[in-house]
Amino acid sequence: MIALTAAEIAAATGGVLHADPSLLVSGPVVVDSRDVLPGGLFVALPGENVDGHDFAATAVDAGAALVLANRELRDGDRALPTVVVDDVEVALGELARTVLVRLREAALEPGGSDLRVIGVTGSVGKTTTKDLLAQLCGSVGPTIAPVRSFNNEIGLPLTVLRADEQTRFLVLEMGASGLGHLTYLTRIAPPDVAVVLVVGQAHIGEFGGIEAVAKAKAEIVEGLVPDGVAVLNADDLRVRAMADLAPGEVVLFGESSDAAVHARDVRLDRAGRARFTLVERTRDGEEAAEVELRLVGEHHVHNGLAAAAAARAVGLSVDEVAAGLTAADALSPHRMHVVDRPDGVTVVDDSYNANPDSMRAALKALAVLAGRDRRSVAVLGEMLELGPGSRDAHDQIGRLVVRLNISLTVVVGEGARAIRDGANHEGSWGDEVVLAEDLEAAGRFLEHELREGDVVLVKSSYGAGLWKLGDRLVGEAVS
């Protein structure tokens, strides 16, 4: 975070200061006392299971200069340096909003960084697109982007507060599980460029319907700065319609004939990685460059095009974008992470999250990876937050498994049972589909069943817990 006095932090958060007003806070802002560095700010978030206020003294002992809290704090006879606010989470957002305003003002000064903020949302592909953009932008200037999926009311402000006067690009992932969420996030960090990937069925149970999902995702476009650029998926009619809400330029990406940024001659190699010609149509014709993605799955072409369009909007050349996409790696764990084990089994760990769209994409990637000479094994768990259509959505995935000729499907948990039912209804027979009651049962089954040459996909919503099985299959420690 940029250096601020305790008085400035109190003013930004609307809090009451219980510390020396001139106290300088120059270290990082953290919510975990184990992450404290000297001179930083510890944000004492209350929680259902753990209350950050209980760790404030530990944070100060570790070097935190100041604590953001909802009450005065003492450690025995010692008063802890504190800014007291009514709502710690809201205050964290206000602090981030104030810091970003200052950074934007500084960026306009002679010699400033010309800071650009890019926001990414969508039902599928947010984190991968964010990771691609972070690497593209990072190749040409100092860039801040979220670790993992820091995309909510806590993660986004923490990401903003990592920026400083040298930051040229601030890439933000913006998640929503209800109306008004993106309005809140864009108030903290209004984007210069807003990317909308897909309006899909993720969290549809919480939204109450697909049109509500579209309305919620559109909030990122409405939250653009006055001359901001909307980067929209031309192939999704609900996303395309958001162009009417854009305050400035609209850039379309995708397969549609009028998409300014699109891919030509897409082909997959034996490992399921896409190669294509990146094309941008301009008023003077078109520019093109070759891309060879390192990411597994044809669906990543879509994410690559979104990242390319956003990167072009902040000034990267087509050649820089193509080179950056070719060099980009998968940064976040449990997202199409491919590991070749010593015993000849290939594990594709895509267990961080799942919805019908991402589940279909992962299964198609599995079929390509396995080809005709390797056995394909799908280990599938529940897709959460799908609402009344959940059973039908799982049933459809089961039917797709059969159509893709997946050799063996292990359905994990009662919540995913409809996957097995769908496969059976589509024509699966014998032992092609197995129902395991829990993670342990699935793990024991796979230990005895997997053999050299198998390609194994692990996929579910995070809350279903199959990421633990993914860790186990690739031999990593399960936390």
List residues forming the annotated binding site. 122-128
Handedness of CA 430, 433, 438, 439 (dihedral sign): positive
d(CA 337, CA 332): 9
Which of 408, 410, 461 lies closest to 440 in space, CA to CA? 410
d(CA 164, CA 320): 25
SS (H, E, C) 3-42: CEEHHHHHHHHCCEEECCCCCEECCCEECCHHHCCCCCEE
What token pair was written down for 253? 């990406």
User: Hey, is 382 helix, strand or coil?
Assistant: coil
Residue numbers belonging to the annotated binding site for ATP: 122-128
Beta strand extents in 310-447 (DSSP E only): 337-340, 346-349, 376-380, 408-412, 433-436
User: Hey, is 371 helix, strand or coil?
Assistant: coil
Indicate the residue type of 199. V
d(CA 457, CA 376): 8
* The residue count for the chain: 479
- Within 10 angstroms of residue 269's Cβ, the number of other Cβ atoms is 12
Which of 372, 416, 374, 373 lies closest to 395 in space, CA to CA? 416
DSSP run (H or E) holding 292: strand 285-296
